[in-house]
Amino acid sequence: MKIFGTDGIRGKAGEFPITPESTYKLGYLFAKLLNYKNLAVGWDTRESSSMIAASLISGIEDAGGKVYKAGCVPTPVLSYLIKKNFDGGIMITASHNPFTDNGLKFFNSNGEKISDKEEQKITTAFFGTKLNAKISEEIPNILFFDEKICEGYFKHLKSLINLEKIKKTYPIDCANGATSLFVKYAEKRLNLSLSPYNILPDGKNINLKCGAAQPEFIKNGCFAFDGDGDRIMGKDLNGNIINGDIILMFLADKLNLKRLVGTVMTNMAVEAFCNEKGIEFHRTKVGDRFVKEKMNRINAKLGGETSGHIIYTKLNHTGDGFAIYLKLIELLNKFGLSIDDLTKQYRLFPQKVINITVQEKIPFNEIEGFGELLKKCEIILGENGRVFPRYSGTENLLRILIESREKESLEKAETEINEYFNKNGGIK
């Protein structure tokens, strides 16, 4: 059986594997099997995060580990803290998912996501070990925020980003998530006016019609983070979405980088841009962990996903919405550009992701007529287009990406796909 997805473990809070018993066991095995003695645990603003933290911390401590409770903190800040001070750590979050979900992201001593091999080691032991969960009655406050853990992170950013040159900033949508308290504190410590909004978490409003996970709700002329702060998206003044692909092109261009890593979902315009600029471009499987692994192998400083996970290794070793936001506005100020220039100068090919809800993730070659549908779409989209299906690693969805230089071709392919699933009543 499998419990790890694209980015850690995720599911409905209160249902397997996001139960007190399971999270106790996972905390125990993480500390025991990987021999981690000093661990940091942080969480986002979901109402279920407190209970999960209590069981997780109990498991770690029963395995002989010592836990530092980082509190309600963005995932990238926790990652940075781990790299500087701890053997490893766990972030309690379901990232961009609704409040009813929750999950765990596991980090090694470098502040990076643990490997497939380590995930498999934990999975094997999880299903092969019996443990009696001893859950602590001490339930942490989900809105506990430890200001002092941010000081080293802020000092690091100030050494790499010329904040004094920043005259123009753009408001930030904090998604009522883990950045809500953090960004308000950052304004004071960095002496910047950041105008954050959606900063009143109530345990249920994380990612609710707000944040990078719901880009249609981002206000014009603003940037946005997702629930745990490792993604960044935006909108220009005309309402055009600024996604991870646009941000990657802008940063690679202005930072004069030689290599760039995207994923199989990255817009073909990024590849065309890299060819034009003489930048090496590489694709990986979906997941910022795979992007980072590829970056390590080829010594690339920048990589990311369309969804807004952007990794720039000079700033952090995981997707970091806040650090990338500061770098973006530093460069926009430096080159005398506005937020509108991002969409004007770095144009994407027309692209659409069609999401189909599935009960079971059946292999594509076993879905009747699916292969013929893909071939038909390939012909419609032409040489400068593509169709790419994949199952989500975090949700029960089939995602079908279609892309073409011509909008008309895209619309025809979308019609074919919708007609196929309407006719067949979903996947059979």
| Catalytic sites, residue numbers | 95
Query: Looking at residue 92, what DSSP letter applies?
Result: E
| Alpha carbon distance 225, 206 (integer Å) | 11
Q: Give me the sign of the Cα torsion angle 123, 124, 125, 129.
A: positive
CA atoms within 13 A on the CB side of 354: 20
Residue 71's nearest CA partner among 166, 189, 158, 150 is 150
DSSP state of 5: B
Q: Which residues, including other chains, have CB under 8 Å from residue 84's CB and lie 6 or more apart?
A: 152
What is the DSSP-derived secondary structure letter of residue 149? Answer: G
- Alpha-carbon span 390 to 4, nearest angstrom: 17
402 within 8 A of 416, measured Cβ to Cβ:
no
- What kind and span of H or E run contains 420? helix 407-424
Query: In what side-by-side order are the strands of the sheet with 101-107?
Result: 9-12, 101-107, 88-92, 38-43, 66-72
Q: How far is residue 33's CA from residue 208's CA, in Å, rounded to a whole number?
A: 37
Asked if omega into 20 is within 30° of 0 (cis), the reply is no
Q: How far apart are CA 83 and CA 71, in angstroms?
A: 17
Q: Look up residue 165 and give its DSSP letter.
A: G
Integer Cα distance of 98 and 206 in angstroms = 7
Q: How is residue 115 written in tokens?
A: 């490997």
Cβ neighbours of residue 144 closer than 8 Å, sequence gap 6 or more: 69, 71, 72
- Beta carbons within 10 angstroms of residue 209's beta carbon: 12
- Strand segments, DSSP code E, in 73-195 are 88-92, 101-107, 172-173
- Please, what's the largest Cα pairwise distance for the chain? 61
